Chain A
Amino acid sequence: MGRLEELADSIISGKADAAVAATEGALADGTPAAEVLTDGLIAGMQVVGERFKNHEFYVPEVLIAARAMKMSMAILRPQLVEQDYEPVGTVAIGTVRGDLHDIGKNLVAMMLEGAGFEIMDLGIDVTPEQFVQAVKDGAGIIALSALLTTTMPAMKDTVEALNAAGIRDQVKVIIGGAPVTETYANDIGADGYGPDAASAAEIATELIAA
Chain B
Amino acid sequence: MSALTVLPDGSRAESVEDNNVLESLRRHGTILTSPCGGEGTCGKCRIRVEEGSVNAPTPQERGLLGAALDAGDRLACQTTVQSDATVRIPASSRVPNVRVLTGGAPREVPFFPNVRRRTFTWERERLTDVESLVDAVAGMLDARADLRVDLPVVRELATGLEYGKTYEATIIGDRLVAVAPEAAAADPLGVALDLGTTTVVAQVVNLTTGEAVGTDSRMNDQSRFGSDVIARINHCFTEDHGLGELQDAVLSTIKECMAASGVDPSHVYEAVAVGNTTMMHLLAGISPESLGQLPYTPVMRAGVDVPASDFPMPFSDAASVHLMPGIAGYVGADTVAAMLAAGYDEEYDGVRLLADIGTNCELVLQRGAEIVACSTPAGPAFEGARLEHGMLAGPGAIERVTIGDTCEIRVVGRGEPSGICGSGVVDVTAQLLEAGIIEMTGRLVSGEDIPESLSDDIRDRIQSTEYGPIFVVARRDDGETVHVTQRDIRETQLAKAAVRTGIDTLLHSMDIRAADIDELLIAGGFGSYLNTANARRLGMIPDIDDEKIKYIGNAAIVGARLALISSEMRARGEELSRRVKHVQVALLPSFQDRFAEAMLFE
Residues of A within 8 A of B (CB): 54-61, 63-64, 97-100, 102-103, 106, 125, 148-151, 153
Contact = CB atoms under 8 A, between A and B. Distances in A.
Contacts of A63: 596-597
Among all A-B residue pairs, the 10 with the closest Cβ atoms? A150-B292, A98-B293, A102-B592, A149-B234, A60-B599, A60-B600, A61-B441, A98-B294, A58-B490, A63-B596
B592 A55 contact: no
A149 B293 contact: no
Given A58-B493, A59-B596, A60-B441, A150 B486 contact: no
Given A58-B493, A60-B493, 9 more contacts: A58-B442, A58-B443, A58-B599, A63-B597, A100-B294, A100-B587, A103-B592, A103-B595, A149-B231
A54 B293 contact: no
Contacts of B233: 150
A102 B592 CA distance: 6
Nearest to A14: B441
16 contacts: A57-B441, A58-B490, A58-B493, A59-B596, A60-B441, A60-B600, A61-B443, A97-B293, A97-B294, A98-B293, A99-B294, A100-B294, A100-B586, A103-B596, A106-B592, A150-B237
B468 interface: yes
A62 B294 CA distance: 27
Interface of B: 230-231, 233-234, 237, 289, 292-294, 441-443, 467-468, 486-487, 490, 493, 586-587, 592, 595-597, 599-600
Nearest to A107: B596
A103 B591 CA distance: 10
Output the residue of B231, B234, B490 with the most chain A CB within 10 A.
B234
Contacts of A106: 592
A182 B294 CA distance: 25
Contacts of B234: 148-150
Contacts of A97: 293-294
A149 B238 CA distance: 10
Contacts of B493: 58-60
Contacts of B442: 58, 60
Contacts of A61: 441, 443
A64 to B, nearest CB: 8
Contacts of B586: 100
A59 B593 CA distance: 11
A168 to B, nearest CB: 25
Nearest to B439: A61
Contacts of B441: 57-58, 60-61, 64
Interface of A is mostly: loop
Given A106-B592, A149-B234, A150-B234, A59 B599 contact: yes
A69 to B, nearest CB: 15
A151 B442 CA distance: 30
A100 B443 CA distance: 28
A196 to B, nearest CB: 13
A150 B293 contact: yes
Contacts of A100: 294, 586-587
Contacts of B487: 55
Given A150-B234, A150-B237, A56 B443 contact: yes
A201 B280 CA distance: 42
B569 to A, nearest CB: 35
A99 to B, nearest CB: 7
Given A56-B443, A98-B294, A99-B293, A149 B490 contact: no
A151 B293 contact: yes
Contacts of B597: 60, 63
A205 B565 CA distance: 65
Contact of B230 (A103, A148, A153): A148
A56 B586 CA distance: 27
Contacts of B599: 58-60
Contact of A55 (B293, B486, B596): B486
A98 B291 CA distance: 10
A153 B292 CA distance: 12
A1 B230 CA distance: 50
A149 B493 CA distance: 23
A56 to B, nearest CB: 7
A16 to B, nearest CB: 14
A4 B459 CA distance: 36
Nearest to B294: A98
B86 to A, nearest CB: 56
Contact of B468 (A54, A125, A150, A151): A54
B294 A150 contact: no
B596 A60 contact: yes
